[in-house]
Amino acid sequence: MIQLRLPYPPSINAYWLVSGHRRYISKRGIKFKQAVADYVLEWRIPKLGSQPLEIEIWLHPRSKQLMDIDNCVKPIIDACQDAGIFDNDVQVQQLFVKRSKAKKGGGCTVWIDVLSTSPDVCSDELS
């Protein structure tokens, strides 16, 4: 299991910007992705390739103000993929997100683990 202690991610609403017909990553998004890439290099985080994964994310907001926790997930997963931890975000088979205690400056803790078997996607629920 890999554990990452990362800065607080930008919301997906602040991650992508639109100008005319062009969509691009904001400066905050680029800064976050670079911070994740630097962390991965500094701590020599192993590469997991194309294996099925489960990810657990604990968000530590900057304040007790309520926010949508789902808006922070995509920037974290995209940054981990771009840093080379795994090949493609489609590998994520299980995802757990928790709002944890607020802390000065904010942050997030991410655990990434390889699944021993890939779960059968919703087959039981759809029958």
pLDDT at 121: 57
Residue 75 in contact with residue 10, Cβ under 8 Å?
Answer: yes
Tokens, residue 110: 């991410």
Please report the pLDDT score of residue 124 as a whole number. 54
Whole-angstrom Cα distance, residue 95 to residue 1? 14
**Which tens digit of pLDDT belongs to each residue from 90-123?**
999 999 999 999 999 999 999 999 998 766 655 5
The pLDDT tens digits for 37-85 are 999 999 999 999 999 999 999 999 999 988 899 999 999 999 999 999 9
Distances (CA, A) of 17 to 10, 64, 95: 12, 27, 26
Domains and CATH numbers, the chain: 2-118 (3.30.1330.70)
CA separation for the pair 35, 30 (Å, rounded): 9
pLDDT for res 117: 76
Predicted confidence (pLDDT) at residue 126 exceeds the cutoff of 80: no
Considering the chain, what is the average pLDDT of its residues?
Answer: 93
